[in-house]
Amino acid sequence: MVKRDREFEILLKDFLRTEGKNFSSKEEAIEVFERLYDLVEEGYGIDTPLGDIIDAIDEEDMSAVDKLNALRELHEENKDALKRAIRLGEDIMYSDNDEDTEQMILADVLAGYYRDAGMYNEAAKLYKFMLAASPSDFSEVTDELTKVYVHLNSESLMQNHIKCFDYEKSEVTLLLLSIFSINREKFDEAHYYMTNLKKLNTYTGNIFKGGFKKVSDYIIGVPDNEKGVNKEKTFEIHYAATIAEEYLLNRYHYEILERLYKSEMERREYLIVEGRFNISKEMMKKDPIFAGMERQLNKFINVELYNKEIIEEYTEKELRKLDGIGATVIQKLKNNGVKFREE
């Protein structure tokens, strides 16, 4: 029998409330719970592979709360190899010790429970921890972290995240970024990401061809029979749909994404969003186009005129309609080499 401490009493109360009804008596429920509690609290010293303990918890017939608590305790007791890999700058996925890689499996299972429970900050911390310990497993964990940041709906977290890898080469990331922008009602940014997705390739576009049912087909694993180069992309397309499943099966998201995928983005709009993400005030200070107008840079930023390429997409008449851009500014831009679009 385990020691009856306050933590045990709280867990037992929850166990009896959620799972105890499945037993013939309260005594039988307590006996089963105590065995589970022993497994988590004292099972590490016995000759049982960590993977078996993880499976036992994951598959056991107990509440998700109890599973999450058990996995969290197990992770706290078994994360030394992950911390060591980070400290030594190694990659735990190349470890010769199976128990080391099992710690990654444990962290992944726990992160999934955090995500499913809506504990997105905890999931994000754990996924970042996993990335630091296993750079070679970068793609899959990064995609899961992107999805968590979509839930958190934080622009600063997302922007810092995608600076860490070449996100424009990942159609999964671009799809999730489009959803992220839709959630924040920044539809020009959503269109920008979808346009970059089309530049990457057109295979993900299969998700948006053939109507709403086609999306479900990819998610449940029965995409059309592809041939040649399309066949090589089937897994990537399916994964892109699966990881965004909760959004793509929401007609609101699907219909906007489909429209943005099928419609062409104006060059000016594309350049503006690109400038919004990539150009800073410090960069603009060094741009000869703005020579002699350093004190007026905030005016250019406010109307999103970040560089010569964007400015030359406007006619002189259109520029005059923008706040803070008058005849004097326009003349200085001409002197600095800007050629406005003809009306």
Q: What is the DSSP letter of 63?
A: -
The pTM assigned to this predicted structure is: 0.78
> What is the three-class DSSP state of 203?
coil
- Proportion of the chain above pLDDT 70, given as a percent: 81
- Quick one: average pLDDT of 235-260? 86
Cα of 132 vs its chain's centroid, Å: 16
Q: Is the pLDDT of residue 43 over 70?
A: no
Provide the mean pLDDT of the chain. 84
Kindly tell me if the per-residue pLDDT of 205 is higher than 60.
yes
Least confident of 19-28, 90-99, 128-137: 19-28
Residue 325: what are its φ and ψ, rounded to 5°? -110, 95
Compute the average pLDDT of residues 207-227: 73
Which tokens hold the place of 3? Answer: 């020691």
Q: Where does the pLDDT of residue 71 fall: very low under 50, low under 70, confident under 90, or very high at 90 and above?
A: very high
The CA distance from 174 to 200, in Å, is 10
* pLDDT the model gives residue 14: 65
Cα distances (angstroms) measured from residue 229 to each of 202, 225, 226, 234:
11, 12, 8, 9
Ranking 6-20, 44-58, 91-105 by mean pLDDT, the lowest is: 6-20
Higher pLDDT, 279 or 216: 279
Position 289 scores a pLDDT of 94
Residues 6 or more apart from 222 whose CB is under 8 A from it? none
Q: What is the pLDDT of residues 313-332, one digit of tens each?
A: 999 999 999 998 999 999 99
Residues 78, 60: Cα–Cα separation, whole Å: 20
The confidence score (pLDDT) of residue 137 equals 67
pLDDT of amino acid 233? 64
CA 284/CA 276 separation, integer angstroms: 12
Measured distance CA(333)–CA(224) in Å, rounded: 54
Which of 58-62, 131-135, 298-302 is predicted with the least confidence, judged by mean pLDDT?
A: 58-62
Q: How far apart are CA 211 and CA 254, in angstroms?
A: 10
At 72, the pLDDT band (50, 70, 90 cuts) reads: very high
DSSP state of 4: -
Round to whole Å and give the CA distance between 289 and 333. 7
Listed in order, strand segments (DSSP E) in 145-242 are none
What gap in Å lies between CA 314 and CA 305, rounded to an integer? 10
